Amino acid sequence: MTEPGLRSAIELATAIRARELSAVELLDHYLDRVDRLNPTVNALVTFDLDGARARARAADQATMAGGPLGALHGLPCSIKDALATAGVRTTGGAVELTDNVPGVDAPVVARLAAAGANVFAKSNLPRWSGDMQAFNEIFGTTNNPWDLTRGPGGSSGGASAAVAAGLSAFDIGTDIGGSIRGPAHLCGICGHKPSFGIVPALGYIDHVTAGLTEPDVNVLGPLARSVDDLSLLLDVIAGPTDDRAPGWRLELPGPRGSRLADLRIAAWLDDPACPVSSDTATALDGLVRTIEGAGGTVDRAARPGIDPEVVRRVGLPLVSAATSPGRTDDEFEHFRRIADSPEGHDPTLVMRARASAMHHRDWLLLTEERERVRERWAQFFTRFDVLLCPVLMTTAFEHQQEGTLYTRTLRVDGVDRPYADIIWWTILIGMAYLPSTVVPVGWTASGLPVGVQVVGPYLGDRSTLAAARLIERLTGGYRVPPLAGGDQEIAP
């Protein structure tokens, strides 16, 4: 990777500190790549070029002055367009906020700036972050750098495409149903969904009046080209909100092992409740065999004793309830009518309608069921350090913008499946607030990337990152897409 823009954030930060590369030179390099590649990929949609150039010049002056520098000093980065960025248009992908310019940063954005990062662009997403694709009426469609006829995933699709194509040093996305993990898997990069609550989610824009509260299940986390970058970025953005900081501190437990042979690894690679595609299964089976060949031990039969149907019975309704403020008044009334008279409607649509219109009592009862699920996960992780499982049921799929989340289908291995199945594996983990690190582990015969979720106990983020780092070393990690300058020969 001779081009600076394709190197890891840590390598770039080191080069700036050593004065081998200036912040201005790096920004200009990324802007050149954006000029060449972004019209094809359409990953970055709003820019703050004047502000970015001023910040880059100031960063170089600080470097020359020899004082203390932040961990992300001088690194140009992008931010998902669902996170409030002061003075920069932030739309959430919704036409209602086409001209919205926040006056203050989301806490995560402020923490990046305090660490020296230079936010120069916003990345594309679906309306209100509500799809496993990345398109909206304002900015159009983002394409996957590995195959332009396919999407990069969602909702942090622009973020993942930008990082994969080398348009940004890193990005910060959001994840309520797989919106960091899915795009990382589909674009062949690394992503980390933190344990719920350890990264402030204020300033997240998923409806017109959003930003003042932290939605249930939703988390903010990094997308990058290496697991080490994910660890660095988590250190920067994690911690209590300002109002809690006087009395609260975040001290995550250390990793549970430093070698694969030290780790108690479980693998849940497939399930009849949501079968994965044959090429996904092949890649994940190959990963387990590689781990075993390197001295690791993997238990393929271990399970947490959870009824898989809890995903559809509890997880999906909780996510639907958390995203319900994004419904328009007309949509909400339509859902209420369906909830009252479900006969003749698709079961997935009925579930979403009932979840959006549920009483608070119903939500509380659902959260009780979730707590029972979380207890089973906690017991499981007394016996195992990490769990390996699929990210999505399939690899990158072709753009599909007709219909809705409730009416679309996906063809997987010749079988039409409900579109909502795409987030089954991510909901399984996210509904329980667990940390999950995604790292690329293989490529299909047609050249599409496959990632794995490395899952750990609640607050076990250090363990999932450490295990993912070991896996990354075995499999090679991120590869540059041919469109972005990659020339690797992809083996099935």
Q: Are strands 415-418 and 409-412 parallel, antiparallel or unpaired?
A: antiparallel
What residue type is 68 in one-letter code? P
d(CA 124, CA 454) in angstroms, rounded, equals 26
pLDDT in tens, the chain (492 residues): 579 999 999 999 999 999 999 999 999 999 999 999 999 999 999 999 999 999 999 999 999 999 999 999 999 999 999 999 999 999 999 999 999 999 999 999 999 999 999 999 999 999 999 999 999 999 999 999 999 999 999 999 999 999 999 999 999 999 999 999 999 999 999 999 999 999 999 999 999 999 999 999 999 999 999 999 999 999 999 999 999 999 999 999 999 888 999 999 999 999 999 999 999 999 999 999 999 999 999 999 999 999 999 999 999 999 999 999 999 999 999 999 999 999 999 888 899 999 999 999 999 999 999 999 999 999 999 999 999 999 999 999 999 999 887 789 999 999 999 999 999 999 999 999 999 999 999 999 999 999 999 999 999 999 999 999 999 999 999 999 999 987 554 433
**What pLDDT score was predicted for residue 491?**
37
In angstroms, the first-to-last Cα distance of the chain is 22
Residues in a beta bridge with 387: 266, 455
**What pLDDT score was predicted for residue 487?**
58
Residues 6+ away with beta carbon under 8 Å from 292: 298
d(CA 185, CA 392) in angstroms, rounded, equals 8
Q: Which CATH class is domain 4-258+469-484?
A: alpha beta
d(CA 73, CA 64) in angstroms, rounded, equals 12
Nearest to 395 by CA among 434, 451, 342: 451
**What pLDDT score was predicted for residue 406?**
78
Helix (H, G, I), strand (E, B) or coil at 190: strand
d(CA 323, CA 176) in angstroms, rounded, equals 9
Residue 199 phi, psi (nearest 5)? -120, 125
How many CB atoms lie under 10 A from the CB of residue 64?
A: 10
**What pLDDT score was predicted for residue 176?**
98
**What pLDDT score was predicted for residue 171?**
99
User: Which DSSP symbol is given to 453?
Assistant: E
Residues 6+ away with beta carbon under 8 Å from 366: 314, 317, 318, 321, 358
Contact between 226 and 164 (Cβ < 8 Å): no
Contact between 85 and 102 (Cβ < 8 Å): yes
d(CA 428, CA 310) in angstroms, rounded, equals 8
**What pLDDT score was predicted for residue 1?**
57
Nearest to 103 by CA among 87, 122, 121, 120: 87
Nearest to 111 by CA among 19, 235, 244, 270: 235
Q: Is this prediction's pTM over 0.95?
A: yes
Contact between 181 and 175 (Cβ < 8 Å): yes
